[in-house]
Amino acid sequence: MDSLASTPGRPNLILQAPLSGVCVDLSDVPDPVFAQRMVGDGIAIDPTEPLLRAPCAGRITQLHRAHHALTLTHAEGVEVLMHIGLDTVALGGEGFEPLVDEGDEVAVGDPLLRFEPGLLARRARSLICLIVLPQGQSIAAPRAGRVRGGEALCEVRPARPPTRPAEEGGIIWSGIVRVPNPMGLHARPAAALAQQAKALGGGARLRRGRTEVSAESIVGVMSLDVRCGDSVEIGGEDASMVMALAEAIASGLGELEAGGEDVMESLTAEPSLMRRVQSLSGALPGVVASPGLAVGPAYRFKPQRFDIADQGQGVEWELDKLHRALARSRKSLRALIDKLKAGGSQTRAEILIAHETLLEDTALSAEAERQIHQGRSAAAAWHESTTQQAESLARSDNLLLAARAADLRDVRDRVLRRMFGRRAPIKAIPPGSILIAEDIAPSILSALRPGQILGLATTQGGATSHAAIIARGLGLPALCGLPEALLAVHDGETLILDAQRGVVTISPDEATLEALNTRQEAQQCARVAAFNAREGAAITLDGARIWVEANIGAVEEAEEAVRQGAEGVGLMRSEFLYLNQTHAPSEAEQTAQYRAVAQALGATRPLTVRTLDVGGDKPLPYLPLPHEENPALGLRGIRVGLTRPALLRQQVRAILQGVGAGARLMFPMIARVEELRAARALVEEEAASLGVEGVEIGVMIEIPSAAINAAKLARYADFFSIGTNDLSQYTLAIDRGHPQLAAWADGLDPAVLRLIEMTLEGARQRDRRVGVCGGLASDLEAVPLLIGLGVDHLSASLAAVAEIKALVRSLSRARCRALAARALQAESAEDVRALIRAEPSEVSP
Ligand code: PEP
Ligand code: MG
């Protein structure tokens, strides 16, 4: 029976044990914040079961976004904070399954939260469950030793009345303070702030945006969901108290190591040396999202700001406002989709169809409706629910999911524009400019007229974002992951956006501009001449025959490969056929697709199909793979096929039947000889059972171990195809999609070149052919080196095929060999590129 002793004569509220386990005195908890009762008095349980239940009846008033903590408020106002484990906030929700939502009423003993003890034991500092009273009450008659869930745990003694009543009006605000705590204001710093605020006794307030709470309430502070780097303000009637608390927040509330802030500041003030190495030339390095070259005036694109009132004007009115804005947004989006489809812009239309689905997502609107019912305005509720969702997507380890955060923000702003009667910000973009931004919404890019902007440069985003895909579709040069310095550029300042070399030059001098003009004109002429000569063979000046093939990812691209003069397909990324599919394709469906590609290529152009390369940054919606700490080093590529042989077998059968005799299959991410032997045996079995002859089996060389063991792999492989994208990633230990680091994962790094040389040496021992299908094969600067190293098959992106053929015809292999020998001795990719650029024209592009 629950009851509360705040009224004389009433018995104390009894808390039941929310789970079974061993009771621990709070002073013995290995965390000073809890042990010193900064959060409040309470008791801890070392749990022996993974289910947390309500210790008393009440309402769930706070569920932490990381789901490791929640607050239950008893009908008479006692707050009970339950916090599972120590440092579990860092798990970001992993290992926790909330069974209730904020606002739910629960009876004593109702299940609240389930957790995975195994995962917590491995990843958190402790599993201990803390039951704390943050409002100043204390516990009495605490249980000791073993306790079973549902048994009496302790009594709650009322708090002393607050020392000072809160006062209205006359509040002094501190101005913006940035929160430096890596995990934001979670339980520990929130407790420290609340404790200091109480000690100073001035009724301090804390606000983030328009939401304001008492700084003396740990639950209130936690409910603001303040993250690292967020701006907050502290307020109160006493200026010295405001200053003291503002300083405490700015210095990390004791969470950063002693003197941490100063030390960190002095340690982080100096600009990154990695950046500096790249910036010696005065250019900013970025990741190529869409290749090309552009020169023009900068235009800083700023996200739209909306002045959102938090308080609603009545539930019915606000609900109606939300629903009308959603309906009108859907209508305008549909009109835009139809227009794009009619104009043949299928990819852009599909991206907006994904936005349409987000708009129809009832989870988003239901959350907004819930907040409206709590008194918030439609705009505030919609903004909050979509922003929270976008932030949790952005934190995802999965790059593809993280990239969807921009889509969600985009949808959010579309609806807000409807509510505020605003026009799309695109109208303000001066034609002919290079757009610079932190990030750019896919719908903004989709709505641009062809040629409206010359290029795009962003500090965020990755090469896999929808914005990058749209930019590539528009043929718009784009770089992402550029340094923050980009945002200091003024509107109208001239930029060179070099999305071939991956750099932006700000305010170039006349000589640079002139050289660039010449380069652009020469490139344009060369492109036209190359396209006209696309059908001829690619033979070097000294008679070496180089086969130039294409990389494709869709059936329709096979026809384009033929149109571009490709001599076959050196890499069909088969997973691209299924990345957006929610059901597994049948063997017959797959067979039909491979047959269509083979037929489009005709009898004389070979087709090389790579078996599914999923996992890592390429999730397959119909094939759920477990979450991994290190996806790039986990279940990816052939490892998925070998752990799910039925999946690989089905695909192999489809390829063999679709392509027929002479089919070429290759396996991604082979790291060990055993993997190749197992995969090869599977193909041989299926080829024998289907009676398909002349099948060739290849290995993608994209992991250093494969290059080092090339001679051994060559026993079981008919050919090698070097995936320089992954080979660079794994050799240099740089995530190829990393916004800050990817620019350094350059395949021309001498270490990568050395592995390519080793692959060729290994292949030569068994006379196996070696091709390159990674990004280097489409890189005009890299091709002379690859040929010099001995590569004679290049599989390039569709747009590069004709130019690569033309380039080969201008090269002398003997000179390329000499260049390769020098490149192998160079110290860096930059030096290698400098060597190439210094070559006379028959070697240098
Ligand atoms: C590579 O890694 O170079 C490659 C061609 O494969 P993907 O880019 O598809 O991983
Ligand atoms: Mg690869």
State mean pLDDT over 338-353: 74
Q: Which atom of ligand 1 is nearest to the CA of 571?
A: 5
* Ligand 1 contact, 613 CB (< 6 A): yes
Q: Which atom of ligand 1 is nearest to the CA of 702?
A: 2
C-alpha 115 to ligand 2 mean position (Å): 36
**Cβ proximity of 137 and 78 under 8 Å:** yes
* Ligand 1 contact, 180 CB (< 6 A): no
Q: Decide which of 498 and 227 is more confident.
A: 498
* Ligand 1 contact, 768 CB (< 6 A): no
771, pLDDT greater than 90: yes
Q: Decide which of 197 and 406 is more confident.
A: 197
* Ligand 1 contact, 724 CB (< 6 A): yes
Confidence of residue 243 (pLDDT cuts 50, 70, 90): confident
State mean pLDDT over 365-383: 93
Mark whether 154 is an active-site residue: no
Q: Could you give the CA distance from residue 303 to residue 288 in angstroms, rounded to a whole number?
A: 23
The SS3 call for residue 665 is strand
State mean pLDDT over 136-141: 86
**Cβ proximity of 82 and 130 under 8 Å:** yes
* Ligand 1 contact, 779 CB (< 6 A): no
Which of 640, 701, 726, 752 has most ligand 1 atoms within 8 Å of its beta carbon, as the pocket-test mutant? Answer: 726
Region class of 380: left (phi > 0), else alpha (psi between -120 and 50), else beta:
alpha
Q: Decide which of 666 and 47 is more confident.
A: 666
469, pLDDT greater than 70: no
Which of 464, 573, 701 has most ligand 1 atoms within 8 Å of its beta carbon, as the pocket-test mutant? Answer: 573
Return the pLDDT at 763.
98
State mean pLDDT over 518-541: 90
Return the pLDDT at 279.
43
Q: Which atom of ligand 1 is nearest to the CA of 773?
A: 5
Tens digits of residue pLDDT in 478-502: 998 888 888 889 999 999 999 877 8
State mean pLDDT over 242-257: 80
State mean pLDDT over 89-118: 89
In 3-135, alpha helices (H): 32-35, 117-123
Query: Residue holding tokens 């190829």?
Result: 736
The SS3 call for residue 129 is strand
In 504-577, alpha helices (H): 510-532, 555-563
693, pLDDT greater than 80: yes
**Cβ proximity of 217 and 77 under 8 Å:** no
Query: Going by CA atoms, what residue is nearest to atom 6 of ligand 1?
Result: 723
- Dihedral (Cα; 543, 547, 548, 554), 10-degree rounding: 170
Return the pLDDT at 280.
39
Considering 466, 480, 793, 816, which one is annotated as catalytic? 466
Return the pLDDT at 690.
97
Confidence of residue 261 (pLDDT cuts 50, 70, 90): very low
Return the pLDDT at 145.
86
Q: Could you give the CA distance from residue 213 to residue 166 in angstroms, rounded to a whole number?
A: 12
423, pLDDT greater than 90: no
Q: What percent of the chain has pLDDT over 70?
A: 88
Return the pLDDT at 363.
73
Tens digits of residue pLDDT in 713-731: 999 999 999 999 899 999 9
State mean pLDDT over 271-275: 53
State mean pLDDT over 673-701: 97
Q: Could you give the CA distance from residue 481 to residue 750 in angstroms, rounded to a whole number?
A: 24
Residue 663: closest CA among 564, 597, 589, 759? 597
26-30, 118-122, 532-536, range with greatest mean pLDDT: 532-536
State mean pLDDT over 183-193: 76
Q: Which atom of ligand 1 is nearest to the CA of 668?
A: 6
Supply the pTM of this predicted model: 0.58
Tens digits of residue pLDDT in 815-840: 999 999 999 999 999 899 899 988 87
* Ligand 1 contact, 608 CB (< 6 A): no
Q: What single-letter DSSP state applies at residue 257?
A: P
Residue 364: closest CA among 317, 400, 329, 403? 329
**Whole-angstrom distance between the N-terminal and C-terminal Cα of the chain?**
84
687, pLDDT greater than 90: yes
Return the pLDDT at 166.
36
151-165, 511-525, 775-789, range with greatest mean pLDDT: 775-789
92, pLDDT greater than 50: yes
Backbone angles phi, psi at 722, to 5 degrees: -85, 120
C-alpha 797 to ligand 1 mean position (Å): 12
Q: Where are the beta strands (DSSP E) in 193-312?
A: 205-208, 211-214, 231-236, 283-285, 287-290, 293-300
Return the pLDDT at 53.
96
Q: Decide which of 532 and 428 is more confident.
A: 532
Q: What angle do CA 156, 65, 265 make, to 5 degrees?
A: 105
Average pLDDT, whole number, for the chain? 85
State mean pLDDT over 26-38: 76
Residue 323: closest CA among 372, 375, 277, 251? 372
Q: Could you give the CA distance from residue 599 to residue 597 in angstroms, rounded to a whole number?
A: 5
Q: Decide which of 172 and 17 is more confident.
A: 17
Query: Residues 331-335: contacts with CB within 8 Å, 24+ apart?
Result: 332/414, 333/359, 333/414
Q: Could you give the CA distance from residue 338 to residue 346 in angstroms, rounded to a whole number?
A: 10
DSSP3 helix / strand / coil % (the chain, rounded to 5): 40, 20, 40
Which of 572, 701, 702, 731 has most ligand 1 atoms within 8 Å of its beta carbon, as the pocket-test mutant? Answer: 702
Mark whether 773 is an active-site residue: yes
Return the pLDDT at 3.
35
Q: Could you give the CA distance from residue 95 to residue 84 in angstroms, rounded to a whole number?
A: 11
Q: Could you give the CA distance from residue 145 to residue 25 in angstroms, rounded to a whole number?
A: 10
Query: Going by CA atoms, what residue is nearest to atom 4 of ligand 1?
Result: 723
State mean pLDDT over 298-314: 87
**Cβ proximity of 13 and 74 under 8 Å:** yes
* Ligand 1 contact, 725 CB (< 6 A): yes
**Cβ proximity of 459 and 483 under 8 Å:** yes
Instruction: Work out the number of other CB atoms within 10 angstroms of the CB of residue 823.
Output: 24
Return the pLDDT at 689.
97
